[in-house]
Amino acid sequence: MTYPTTVHRRRTLAAAALGRTLSTPGAPDAPSALDASNASDARAAPGVRGDAGASADAVDGDGPEPLRAVTGQVLDTSPHLIIVETPEGTEERLVVAPWATTWRGENVALTDLPPRTNVIMRTLHGGKVVDRVWADITRITGTILAVGKEGRDQLVELDAGPHRGRRTIVIPYRVSGRLRVRHPMFEPGYLFDAIGIREDGRASARLPATSQPPYRARAVPAPPPAYGGAQSRVAGTITWSDGFDEDEHGAAYPMLERSDVGCRDAETSCVGLPYLALGSMLHVENTCTGRTQVIPIVTCGCVAGRFCDRCVECDTSPRGRIAEVSPVSFVELGGDLIKGCFNARIGLG
């Protein structure tokens, strides 16, 4: 007689995670018997549509539901649950939403992730429900120094900037065509930006993160002339970088004085950005989702400043990258790590 009990327990767990009642599965938020201790959270949390890629509704008209990014290493998975060890060494158990997707170079089943895989997860309902999983993801950004061969694959040496040094990456033969379409100048001196995964101790590119700028890395266009004085908010593109600590909230900003940050490549951008100091609080707004966050500037964004490209996540942004943020901040602002950018406005926090 355990089968009905098991089914009832699963239904109760799903109702608690999704804010539904057992009698009316499609109803809006209601506390369940299993989640009585979190009844106030359930009343405050918005309903979530059950289709793949759905977004959260606004919370009482005050804006979108907060997202929480959770990082760690996989300990165990099932179709409905994931257990991870966080960077602090604690174990965290999270319910997996029915519509959640997992990416590791391509879309994969969550249960196919091997133990100790590094993951970044986007969660809803105060960090209780996993909505999206990115596994072993990395971003490969820099200036091409050399291109070589390893069998049918290509080896590319990149200069990732004074703060991140050099790195050698692999471009598998099966994805080289897709990357070359977006990076036609595949030779030393030109910029490179791709999304990939870490495997076998090195980075392997999978998707182009942008269209390659047509100029050499040392020939960044000058910013347009400014009219009407300094602006309180500057619009452009926000991207992410894995040059931050695993669970760090931080930003890399191009227009920092060289003497302050000890970076010879600082003060470079095709955007009319104001000079700011290391440690300044940057107010970042994702204009696609309406989400905002105040993030400290923790390093120089000299590599980001060399890209005079556009983001077309929800509209066409003005040219130029105005900041790079950590993966955790990027996810909590509503960004998709695979898409690599979102349209944004920044100002002092």
The model's pLDDT over 206-260, given as tens digits with 9 standing for 90+, comes to: 999 999 999 999 999 999 876 555 567 899 999 999 999 989 999 999 999 888 8
Q: What is the pLDDT of residue 305?
A: 95
Judge whether 147 and 90 are in contact, CB under 8 Å.
no
pLDDT tens sequence across 64-74: 889 999 999 99
> For residue 192, is it left (φ>0), alpha (ψ between -120 and 50) or beta?
beta
- Give the tens place of pLDDT for each residue, 72-131: 999 999 999 999 999 999 999 999 999 999 999 999 999 999 999 999 999 999 899 999
**Does residue 247 sit in the same domain as residue 343?**
yes
Residue among 116, 92, 57 at smallest CA distance from 289: 57
pLDDT in tens, 7-55: 455 455 444 444 445 543 333 343 333 333 333 333 333 333 333 333 3
Do 253 and 202 have their domain in common?
no
Question: Widest CA span of the chain, in angstroms?
Answer: 76
Q: 238 with 298, same domain?
A: yes
Which residues form the domain of 161?
Answer: 138-208
Q: Please, which residues have CB within 8 angstroms of residue 201's CB and are 6 or more apart in sequence?
A: none
Q: Is residue 331 pLDDT above 90, yes or no? A: yes
* 145-174 pLDDT per residue, tens: 999 999 999 999 999 988 889 999 999 999
Do both 340 and 241 map to the same domain? Answer: yes
The pLDDT, as a whole number, for residue 3 is 40
In a domain, 257, yes or no: yes
Residue 24 lies in a domain: no
- Residue 39's φ and ψ, nearest 5 degrees, are -60, -40
Instruction: Give the C-alpha separation, 47 to 67, whole Å.
Output: 14
Structural contact between residues 314 and 287, judged by C-beta atoms closer than 8 angstroms: yes
131 and 142, same domain (yes or no): no
Asked whether residue 143 falls in the same domain as residue 189, the answer is: yes
The pLDDT assigned to 348 comes to 86
pTM, rounded to two decimals:
0.81
169 shares its domain with 84: no
Q: Give residue 8's pLDDT.
A: 52
Lowest pLDDT segment from 93-97, 193-197, 230-234, 283-287: 230-234
- In this prediction, residue 241 carries a pLDDT of 96
Phi, psi at 253, each rounded to 5°: -120, 130
CB 90 within 8 A of CB 73: no
**Do the bridges between strand 321-325 and strand 251-253 make them parallel or antiparallel, or are there none, so unpaired?**
antiparallel
Q: Give the pLDDT score at 46.
A: 34
Instruction: Judge whether 239 lies within some domain.
Output: yes
Q: Which of 162, 193, 208 is the last residue of a domain?
A: 208
CATH number at residue 336: 2.40.40.10
Helix/strand/coil for 124: strand
Of 91, 115, 135, the position where a domain reaches its end is 135
Residue at which a domain ends, from 101, 118, 135: 135
Same domain, yes or no: 239 and 330: yes
pLDDT at 231: 67
- Decide if 331 is inside a domain: yes
> What was the pLDDT predicted at 264?
86
Percent pLDDT > 90 in the chain is: 68
- Residue 316 within a domain: yes
Specify the CATH number for the domain of residue 142: 2.40.50.140
Whether residue 126 is found in the same domain as residue 154 = no
Measure the N-to-C terminal CA separation of the chain; round to a whole number of Å. Answer: 59
Which of 314, 334, 328, 337 is closest to 54 using CA atoms? 334
Same domain flag for 341 and 284:
yes
* Domain contains 128: yes
Question: Could you tell me if 324 and 252 lie in one domain?
Answer: yes
The answer to whether position 300 is within a domain reads yes
On whether residue 76 sits in a domain, the answer given is: yes
* Total domain count, the chain: 3
On whether both 193 and 123 belong to a single domain, the answer is no
3-state helix, strand, coil in the chain (%, to 5): 15, 40, 45
